[in-house]
Amino acid sequence: MDKTPLVGPDFAAGRELIEALERTGIPVAFAGWLSLRETFDWQLYIASPDVQTYGPTTVIRFVDTLLTAIESPLSLGNLRITNTSNHFVNRIPESYGPRQITPHPTRIVGIAFDDGYIVEGFVYKIDRKLKPSKTAPRANAATLKRARSLAA
């Protein structure tokens, strides 16, 4: 199976989404593009403690609204929003990734473990010490305005 290429606009759109999430108060413990041997497709993995606390549906709905608000070329089909105990996310050593979002993600190659294999990846951020936000994510006018101000 041929691997789908990851192009520059994907890097920028991914970084913009992560920055918008953090600007709106969603803690992001891990963010990075991963290509798994099982699919060879690139997926932007986003892990947040809010997924455990408020549930995946709440966070996914918020992200979907945010994608529209910032006019992102990404869609939910490009994303894997997960909790911080996701085994792919936890198998990537902290030494591979920066603690803060950077314009140029750190490249990782060939991480194998019991039930999976990351062929290649580009990590924006790893910070496993984050706590969930105090309130569930809500797509109110003020939150979306903060997100759009970033994209402008």
pLDDT at residue number 1: 43
pLDDT tens per residue across all 152 residues of the chain: 445 666 567 888 888 999 899 888 899 999 988 887 777 688 899 999 999 999 999 999 999 999 988 889 999 988 999 888 877 677 776 666 556 666 677 777 887 766 677 778 888 888 877 888 888 787 666 666 666 665 54
Q: Which residues pair with 111 in a beta bridge?
A: 118
Residue 130 CB burial class (10 angstroms; 0-12, 13-18, ≥19): middle
Q: Which of 40, 42, 43 is nearest to 1 (CA)?
A: 40
* Termini Cα distance of the chain: 38
Residue carrying structure tokens 């105090």 = 134
- The amino acid present at 2, given as its one-letter code, is D
pTM: 0.83
